[in-house]
Amino acid sequence: MLLAEVTGSLGSIGYGLAAIGPGVGIGIIFGNGVQAMARQPEATGLIRQNMLLGFALAEALALIGVVMPFVFGK
């Protein structure tokens, strides 16, 4: 008797969910960043520096989602 043949770990789903927010967020950061650069091209260095700061802080949320299944049991 074979019931559902579903395999895999909930860790994959957990990472997938954790990647939704930073994915949208990084898009908003760079989308507004290129708009800001077009408005003030001479401030490109300042804008790029803060864009990458925001990118790193948002990306960290997804990377924590990679290690969580090892913590909680994968």
Sequence-separated (6 or more) residues with CB below 8 Å from residue 30: 51, 55
| Tokens, residue 14 | 């957990």
By the rule CB under 8 A, 45 interacts with a second copy: no
Cα–Cα distance for residue pair 25/8, rounded to 1 Å: 28
Residue identified by tokens 């760079």 is 30
For residue 70, the minimal CB distance to a second copy (Å) is 9
Number of chain positions touching a second copy (CB under 8 A): 65
Q: Interface with a second copy includes 73 (CB under 8 A)? A: yes
Query: What is the binding site for a second copy (CB under 8 A)?
Result: 1-41, 43-44, 46-48, 50-51, 53-55, 57-59, 61-62, 64-66, 68-69, 71-74
